[in-house]
A and B are shown apart, each in its own frame.
Chain A
Amino acid sequence: MVRMGDAPMLQLLPPAAAPMRRPATAARTRRIIAVGGGKGGIGKSLISANLGIELARRGRRVVLVDADLGGANLHTTLGLELPRRTLSDFIERRVSRMDEVLTPTGIENLSLVSGALDHVDAANPRYAQKMRLLRHVQQLDVDYAILDLGAGTHSNVLDFFLVSDHGVLVLVPEPTSVENAYRFLKAAFWRRLRNVAHVFGYDPLLRSLLTTAPFRSPVELVTTVMERDREAGANLIRQLASFRPRLIVNQARTPQDADIGQAIAAAWRKYFGLQMDYLGHIQYDDEMWRVQRARRPLLIERPDTAAARSFAGLVDALLALDAVQPRTVPPAPAPPPPGSDP
């Protein structure tokens, strides 16, 4: 199974153990999409919500999970009051199953797990809590679970990003956002690398390399590992290849802004030696801001706008990725026929 962070570290998806953890008939989330970006205010929540709506509109069953544990507001973007049950009920085990904190959004096929709000500590779940949360997300009986991540590079955020099938990186074409996006990706990359090293026992090797001198780029580091220990290097490359972010450029005002996505993917390839998929851009649109003020989702309120139409393209791109990369784990998703949307 190829996932962004088929992270041995999280031990969520050990190929052998996973099926045993639950009955074979158990329902399963087919894909997890994590929406992150490092910086706040770049539209992660709005994109999560509207991606969810677009997927739901195409008949996929979707659950939005507000994983911004310290600053949940996904419900607001959907125009919902704060639901009675939230993630904190689940984290603190007041309910045993995630199903019980699902809130209908009033949109067909789309439900919400609202973020944790009422407990300060809920923003920083312990490792075991985090694992439980992810495990339950994976068991939801939906086609897509979309995790709306918080800003920053906290390990919680990174881990959610790393275990997803689609780690979606959002940025706006501004230096601050680009900078934070790279910081986020670098942090995620290193976390992934360290976990791989840990699992495969490359810790000493890695440490010896890192203490000799700071490395300038991931490519350089991996190549050096390769020179020291070919097996380890080759394995590392294999393991890291699944670290493949999807990029969305938000608030594109000019054609150049839209092109920045390609440029970033190219720069990423050179620096990390890894692939990145550019899903597309969302046009800057005042309407987006207006509907947000009205606490209405864009795709419901103004599906005719340019920004709203952008989401169709983004979802096409996501579905195309799923089609070429079928999960080996049951249930294999039927590749969406090209014109399958309503």
Chain B
Amino acid sequence: MKRLAEQTLYEILEVPPDAPQAAVKAAIERAREIFGPGSLAMYSLMSPDEASLMNRRIEEAWVTLLDPEARARYDAWLGGPGQGATATQVATWTLPPVLAGRADAPSSTPTPGASAGGSPHAGATALSGPQTPLVAEPPSAAPGPPASPPDDDGNGAEEARAKPAEAAQPASPARAPLQLVTAVIEAAGPPPLLPRVPPAAAAQPPEPPPLAGPVAMRAPIRLDRPVSFPQPAMTPPPAAQRADPAPEATPPDFADDASWTGEMLRRVREARGIPIQIIAQRTKITRHHLENIEKDRFGQLPAAVYLRGILLALARELRLDGQKVARSYLERMSAATSPPPTTPGPKR
């Protein structure tokens, strides 16, 4: 039994960790149906917070598991050597997390007194290494649990993640890997399932913006949704890092309905002065993909389903509306790669 925030993405989807891509994708789609807004099966079951957490985890899975490289990194993080993760890897799949943690943890930590240390952030210790899930940037964008001071220098996720770890006591290192996701989720915005458990003090994320609610969460599937969706909810603005929380304000030269090309993305990126390797580092998308996107090398890009996640992540880094970017880019790509008269490629 694990909290939603502590389940691995595979556990969230209820697929085995070695499930083929297609099965993962199917599981994600099914999960979206079950847990998305308007689902009869969810009616009155969970609180809005929980439902929204669940949906965020599903989107996390979408971004992470469908990109083969991000998934490989995530798998390595889950089960890979080093970073102190070894102790718990196995436990990840077989034991309730706490049990696993407790086995090694000093028994003095569990009491409420350990609040500060029992924080999910404590878990960060073990993952300060390079292996982090794709969606992990949020830590740098933590809405501000005291334990994790905002990482203003934009130095990348690893460092940000390491900070809370240092701040917190080295409570139960063995628990760490299991808890990372919590930290990530927490940092990503709305409060985690159980913010007070470890310590109300350490985890006090602001109320989730209404936008991050279930409706917004659903947005990613609905390609036919009004494009005017203010901000992709699955990529809540990394508040701490953005001095200006108004992302729309920044890419001034492109109209709302712009058809996004690789060239435009490159220009936005350069206008913001972000080197491509920084994006690669932060999003865990290979530089190779990023360059192919910017050069519109459609033939060399991954399949649309994966590309979509990549575009969303990229757009987030550029503080663009991920929905719009992904949609218009994918439209262009499909128009360019298949020559059907039905697809109105805006560029044709």
CA distance A237 to B99 in the complex (A): 12
Q: Quick check: B41 and A267 within 8 Å, CB to CB?
A: yes
Classify the interface of chain A: helix, strand, loop or mixed.
helix
CA distance A260 to B45 in the complex (A): 14
- Knowing A223-B3, A227-B110, the reply to whether A234 touches B99 (Cβ < 8 A) is yes
- Knowing A224-B194, A228-B110, A263-B40, the reply to whether A233 touches B49 (Cβ < 8 A) is no
Q: Quick check: B50 and A237 within 8 Å, CB to CB?
A: no
CA distance A152 to B14 in the complex (A): 32
Q: Is A226 at the interface (CB under 8 A from chain B)?
A: yes
- Min Cβ gap B290→A in Å is 35
Q: Is A264 at the interface (CB under 8 A from chain B)?
A: yes
Q: Is A198 at the interface (CB under 8 A from chain B)?
A: no
Q: Is B1 at the interface (CB under 8 A from chain A)?
A: yes
What is the chain A residue whose CB lies nearest that of B4?
A: A270
Q: Quick check: B193 and A220 within 8 Å, CB to CB?
A: yes
CA distance A268 to B187 in the complex (A): 26
Contact of B46 among A216, A223, A229 (CB under 8 A): A216
Q: Quick check: A267 and B196 within 8 Å, CB to CB?
A: no
Q: Is A79 at the interface (CB under 8 A from chain B)?
A: no
Q: Is B21 at the interface (CB under 8 A from chain A)?
A: no
What is the chain B residue whose CB lies nearest that of A234?
A: B99
**A214-246, CB under 8 A of B: which get 1 and which 0?**
001101101110111110011001000000000
- Min Cβ gap B339→A in Å is 36
What is the chain B residue whose CB lies nearest that of A174?
A: B40
**A261-291, CB under 8 A of B: which get 1 and which 0?**
0011011111101000000000000000000
**B1-32, CB under 8 A of A: which get 1 and which 0?**
11110100000001000000000000000110
CA distance A203 to B160 in the complex (A): 41
What is the chain B residue whose CB lies nearest that of A240?
A: B1
CA distance A220 to B198 in the complex (A): 12
A266 contact set on B, CB distance < 8 A: 14, 30-31, 34, 41
Q: Is A175 at the interface (CB under 8 A from chain B)?
A: yes
Q: Is B54 at the interface (CB under 8 A from chain A)?
A: yes
- Knowing A224-B197, A227-B110, the reply to whether A263 touches B54 (Cβ < 8 A) is no
Q: Quick check: B3 and A269 within 8 Å, CB to CB?
A: no
A271 contact set on B, CB distance < 8 A: 45-46, 50
A226 contact set on B, CB distance < 8 A: 1, 96, 98-99
- Min Cβ gap A219→B in Å is 6
Chain A interface residue number, banded:
20 to 34
Q: Quick check: A270 and B193 within 8 Å, CB to CB?
A: no
Q: Is A27 at the interface (CB under 8 A from chain B)?
A: no
Q: Is A92 at the interface (CB under 8 A from chain B)?
A: no
Q: Is A213 at the interface (CB under 8 A from chain B)?
A: yes
What is the chain B residue whose CB lies nearest that of A228?
A: B110
Identify the stretch in A82-90, A136-144, A177-185 within 8 Å (CB) of chain B at 4 or more residues: A177-185
Contacting B at CB under 8 A, from A292-327, are none
CA distance A212 to B118 in the complex (A): 17
- Knowing A223-B2, A223-B3, A263-B33, the reply to whether A217 touches B50 (Cβ < 8 A) is yes
- Min Cβ gap A197→B in Å is 16
- Knowing A266-B14, A266-B34, A270-B54, the reply to whether A216 touches B43 (Cβ < 8 A) is no
What is the chain B residue whose CB lies nearest that of A241?
A: B1
Q: Is A5 at the interface (CB under 8 A from chain B)?
A: no
Q: Quick check: B102 and A230 within 8 Å, CB to CB?
A: yes
Contacting A at CB under 8 A, from B174-207, are 193-194, 196-197
B54 contact set on A, CB distance < 8 A: 270
Q: Quick check: B41 and A178 within 8 Å, CB to CB?
A: yes
CA distance A178 to B39 in the complex (A): 11
Chain B interface residue number, banded:
35 or more
Q: Quick check: A182 and B2 within 8 Å, CB to CB?
A: no
- Min Cβ gap B178→A in Å is 11
- Knowing A226-B99, A230-B102, the reply to whether A219 touches B41 (Cβ < 8 A) is no
What is the chain B residue whose CB lies nearest that of A273?
A: B1
- Min Cβ gap A178→B in Å is 5
Q: Quick check: A267 and B45 within 8 Å, CB to CB?
A: yes
Q: Is A173 at the interface (CB under 8 A from chain B)?
A: yes
B155 contact set on A, CB distance < 8 A: none
A260 contact set on B, CB distance < 8 A: 40-41
Contact of A179 among B44, B46, B118, B194 (CB under 8 A): B44
B97 contact set on A, CB distance < 8 A: 223
- Min Cβ gap A153→B in Å is 14
Q: Quick check: A223 and B50 within 8 Å, CB to CB?
A: no
- Knowing A175-B40, A178-B40, A178-B44, the reply to whether A230 touches B1 (Cβ < 8 A) is no
- Min Cβ gap A98→B in Å is 37
- Min Cβ gap B55→A in Å is 11
CA distance A194 to B209 in the complex (A): 35
B31 contact set on A, CB distance < 8 A: 266
Contacting A at CB under 8 A, from B274-307, are none
- Min Cβ gap B176→A in Å is 15
Q: Is B42 at the interface (CB under 8 A from chain A)?
A: yes
A269 contact set on B, CB distance < 8 A: 14
Q: Is B35 at the interface (CB under 8 A from chain A)?
A: yes
Q: Is B47 at the interface (CB under 8 A from chain A)?
A: yes
CA distance A61 to B293 in the complex (A): 69
CA distance A182 to B43 in the complex (A): 9
Beyond A217-B46, A270-B54, 19 additional pairs, beta carbon < 8 A: A182-B43, A182-B44, A216-B194, A219-B2, A219-B3, A220-B193, A223-B97, A223-B98, A226-B1, A226-B98, A226-B99, A227-B110, A230-B98, A230-B102, A233-B98, A263-B34, A263-B39, A266-B34, A271-B50
Interface pairs (19), CB distance under 8 Å? A174-B40, A178-B41, A182-B44, A183-B44, A216-B49, A219-B1, A219-B4, A222-B1, A223-B97, A226-B98, A237-B1, A263-B34, A263-B40, A266-B30, A266-B41, A269-B14, A270-B35, A271-B50, A273-B1
Instruction: Please list the 3 inter-chain residue pairs (A to B) with the smallest Cβ-Cβ separation, ordered nearest first.
Output: A263-B41, A273-B1, A179-B44
